[in-house]
Amino acid sequence: MRLLSTEETECGGFIIHDFFSREKPEYAVLSHTWENEEMTFQEIVTGRAVDKQGFRKIKDCCARARLENIQYIWIDTCCIDKTSSAELSEAINSMYRWYEEAKICYVFLFDIGPSSHLDTSRWFTRGWTLQELLAPPFVKLFDDRWNVLGTKDSLRSLISKTTNIPVNILSGEEDLDRISIAQRLSWAAGRVTTRVEDRAYSLLGIFGINMPLIYGEGKRSFIRLQEEILKVYDDTSIFAWKSHEDQDGLLATSPDAFEHSSNIVLSHSPTPLVPLAQSNKGIHLELQMIGKSPGLALGVLNCLDRSTNCRVGIYLKDLYMTLKQFERVSYTELPLVDLKKHKRAEYPRRRICIRQTRRAKARPNRDRIPERQQPGPKTEGNYKINGKSPTLALYAAKGHDIGTLWMLLIRGDIKADVEDAHGRTPLSYVSEHGHEALLRLLLAQSQVNYDSRDKAHRTPLSFAASAGHETIVDLLIETGEVDIESKDEDELTALAWASRNGHCAVVELLLMVVEALVSREANVEARDEYGWTALLYSARYGHVSAVQTLLARGANIESMDPDDGWTALICAAENGHEAVVQELLLQGANIESRDNHYGWTALGWAAGNGHASVVQQLLARKAYVESQDYYYNRTPLSWAAANGHDIVVRQLLQHGADSESKDNHEGRTPLSWAATNGHEAVVRELLERDANIESRSQQGHTAMFYASRNGFPEVVELLQSVSK
């Protein structure tokens, strides 16, 4: 720190001395407003420019100090080497302390004469003079001729009226740290500095803040000051400002925004608040929140308006409708909130993040409060909730009404996990119906059980997988709190549901996640209570993409259900899923595998059910055309003929099927079965292949007998025409 000796040299100049903190002598400081021809450090050192106008002020100030036996004085114009940015930064960050440690501060009001009013001085409008008034314990004010006007203490009423600084602060009866951030910043409103950045830098000492100086950053300096304040103070009054200027974000861009905040005082909440924190997402804090309309809340700050004893609020818009990420809207008003007029459940505390947006240009209509986009529950008042609130919560989830659900969840008496008669929660319904926005809102609530089970033991993941909602499945998995392999009362996993319903993307997602989580091959062979695997379900319902995915993940192509012994190929052939059959055959499925119950092969099932395209594929792969079932030794041709599938009959005959094969039930031939059931087209097809119309069953009956007995005259006539 440099101090100016108050003793003049022989040449009529002054000497500057350097002092370290331990050896600083008693000194005075000068507070003034800069005029023309102020003296610089270099000019004092060299003794030049003693004829400048600013030298007269220094000389008179030193003379006043000598009268009070003070040997040193600090004057900002000439005790700082402003050519050194490092020294200037150190001085500005230390200035409040230097004023605070001074024995006395002389305030020279060059524009106040014997007949002037004190409160008209430019000194009261300058930014730097605010700390020069507050920091020193003793302040003496002088007019333009260095006549004493009074002290800070004797003039405290006038000064308080002029500056809005409370009298007890000026007198030192009240500690500055007990004053709210908003009120302290209000004292700087309307004050000016030569450089924009100095409006912020001149306030460093008032908050005990140190920070680097960056000239050229403009209004960003005041944002940076507030960010530093938030690191030290847990005081939400810093957000209690309003402005008609270009604003965007939670922090003000100028002290002028606090012009109407002089009445804002701290409100000491009985409940400890979670500390404020900052991140690249914004400012994290805990506020009491009152829902006003879907997506719009009133954040209640922990400060009071002293004139009304009401809490101060700010309007917040939910950016993503999750009750987590907000931004401030409506900068032109600072609403007052009387919490006595609200039920406690209407203003619960919530931990939220408010975005501190920085932009080059204002967006239109930023000051407008968003209008309600959706109607709320039809109850009295603005979203007033009655005893049926749990029903309303479930209605909102099932009815896909995010506005109503948001308005319910912002309250403190609504459970996001409320269950209906089936044990299902809102999350369960939202997952089933695939409503991503509602899901994100529910997942953001801390009390929600992501893996809740209904009375059938189905989870939200199970419903989402069953319905094929890939995004929903992904979001649920991202929580890290869902059991991917949990089973419902039918022993079906989420993977089984997705496979059963052919949702290949969900199947793939679940398999990848299982592998990643447990560091092993996914359990694609998991079985439900019937012993069915995901591959069997996929094949049965014809979901070729799911089949491909499961096989690629190592599913056993020959796995069977334990009761009937059905393989994936049999399942697909029985249901006529041509693409699945083709894929299974390409992957090497055993074409001659049989089920345990009937002993049918894939060809037998496809032929019996008339799936011609599947039959064609199987025959092309050399399926055994004469395979017989376990009970009656019936061939695929016998079953196709009995069921009237003439095209399949033709296919089988073309591939060498024996038209005269007999079963061991009654010794019937394919022609006999076709005639028994009246399938004229099949009879004709067999006759064209020279089927023996005289072939008899074990009871000695011909095909004509069966056709006649069962009342099929057209078949009888056809057979008679051939016999003639």
Mean pLDDT of all residues in the chain? 88
**From 2.60.98, 3.55.50, 3.40.50, 3.30.70, which CATH number describes the 2-174 domain?**
3.40.50
- The closest of 239, 264, 259 to 249, measured between CA atoms, is 239
What is the Cα 268 distance to its own chain's centre? 31
What band does 358 get if pLDDT is binned at 50, 70 and 90?
low
Which run of H or E residues covers position 29? Answer: strand 27-31
What integer pLDDT is reported at residue 224 of this predicted model? 96
What integer pLDDT is reported at residue 49 of this predicted model? 66
pLDDT digits (tens, 9 = 90+) for 610-632: 999 999 999 999 999 999 988 88
Distance of alpha carbon 320 from alpha carbon 458, whole angstroms:
28
What integer pLDDT is reported at residue 372 of this predicted model? 42
Distance of alpha carbon 9 from alpha carbon 68, whole angstroms:
19
Token pair of 189 as six digits? 């409103």
The CB-side HSE value for 47 (13 A sphere, CA atoms) comes to 8
pLDDT digits (tens, 9 = 90+) for 264-286: 999 876 655 678 889 989 999 99
- The closest of 135, 281, 148 to 203, measured between CA atoms, is 135
Which run of H or E residues covers position 67? Answer: helix 53-67
pLDDT digits (tens, 9 = 90+) for 655-668: 999 999 999 878 99
SS3 108: strand
Contact call for residues 669 and 692 (beta carbons, < 8 A): yes
φ, ψ of residue 525 to 5 degrees: the values are: -95, 10
Distance of alpha carbon 240 from alpha carbon 182, whole angstroms:
6
What band does 114 get if pLDDT is binned at 50, 70 and 90?
confident
pLDDT at position 367 over 70: no
Q: Which residues contact 65 (CB under 8 A, 6 or more apart)?
A: 6, 28, 71, 72, 73, 106
Q: Which residues contact 271 (CB under 8 A, 6 or more apart)?
A: 349
Burial of 406 (0-12, 13-18, 19+ CB in 10 A): buried
pLDDT at position 386 over 50: no
Q: Which residues contact 326 (CB under 8 A, 6 or more apart)?
A: 297, 299, 316, 317, 318, 319, 352, 353, 354, 355
pTM given for the model? 0.74
List C-alpha distances in Å: 145 to 36, 64, 124, 442, 460.
17, 11, 19, 72, 83
Neighbour count for residue 489 (Cβ, 10 Å): 12
**Exposure class string for 62-84: b at 16+ Cβ within 10 A, else e:** bebbeeeebbbbbbbbbbbbeee
pLDDT at position 387 over 80: no
Query: Quick one: average pLDDT of 130-137?
Result: 96
What integer pLDDT is reported at residue 653 of this predicted model? 93
Distance of alpha carbon 532 from alpha carbon 572, whole angstroms:
14
What band does 54 get if pLDDT is binned at 50, 70 and 90?
confident
What integer pLDDT is reported at residue 310 of this predicted model? 95
Query: Quick one: average pLDDT of 245-264?
Result: 91
Q: Which residues contact 143 (CB under 8 A, 6 or more apart)?
A: 109, 112, 113, 114, 116, 149
Contact call for residues 57 and 31 (beta carbons, < 8 A): no
pLDDT at position 592 over 60: yes
What integer pLDDT is reported at residue 514 of this predicted model? 64
DSSP characters over 639-688: HHHHTT-HHHHHHHHHTT--TT---SSS---HHHHHHHTT-HHHHHHHHH
pLDDT at position 423 over 50: yes
Distance of alpha carbon 500 from alpha carbon 210, whole angstroms:
65
- The closest of 695, 636, 692, 629 to 665, measured between CA atoms, is 629
Map tokens 């119950």 to a residue.
Answer: 597
Dihedral angle at the C-alpha atoms of 303, 163, 169, 66, nearest 10 degrees? Answer: 150
β-pair partners for 298: 290, 315
pLDDT at position 519 over 50: no
What band does 305 get if pLDDT is binned at 50, 70 and 90?
very high
Token pair of 127 as six digits? 């930014």
Token pair of 556 as six digits? 């056993």
What band does 382 get if pLDDT is binned at 50, 70 and 90?
very low
- The closest of 291, 281, 282 to 313, measured between CA atoms, is 291
What integer pLDDT is reported at residue 271 of this predicted model? 57
- The closest of 661, 697, 704 to 683, measured between CA atoms, is 704
pLDDT at position 371 over 50: no
SS3 31: strand
Distance of alpha carbon 356 from alpha carbon 324, whole angstroms:
14
Distance of alpha carbon 80 from alpha carbon 572, whole angstroms:
90
Token pair of 303 as six digits? 């400060």
DSSP characters over 574-629: HTT-HHHHHHHHHTT--TT---TTT---HHHHHHHTT-HHHHHHHHHTT--TT---
Neighbour count for residue 45 (Cβ, 10 Å): 15
pLDDT digits (tens, 9 = 90+) for 201-252: 999 999 999 999 999 999 999 999 999 999 999 899 999 999 988 778 899 9
φ, ψ of residue 47 to 5 degrees: the values are: 80, 15
pLDDT at position 383 over 50: no
Query: Quick one: average pLDDT of 17-35?
Result: 89
Q: Quote the longest CA-to-CA distance of the chain.
A: 156
Helix, strand, coil abundance in the chain, percent, nearest 5 = 40, 10, 50
**Domain residue ranges in the chain:** 2-174, 262-354
What band does 43 get if pLDDT is binned at 50, 70 and 90?
confident
Which run of H or E residues covers position 150? Answer: strand 148-151
β-pair partners for 300: 288, 313
- The closest of 621, 671, 666, 617 to 642, measured between CA atoms, is 671
DSSP characters over 294-340: TTEEEEEEEEEETTTTEEEEEEEEESSSSSSEEEEE-TT---EE-GG
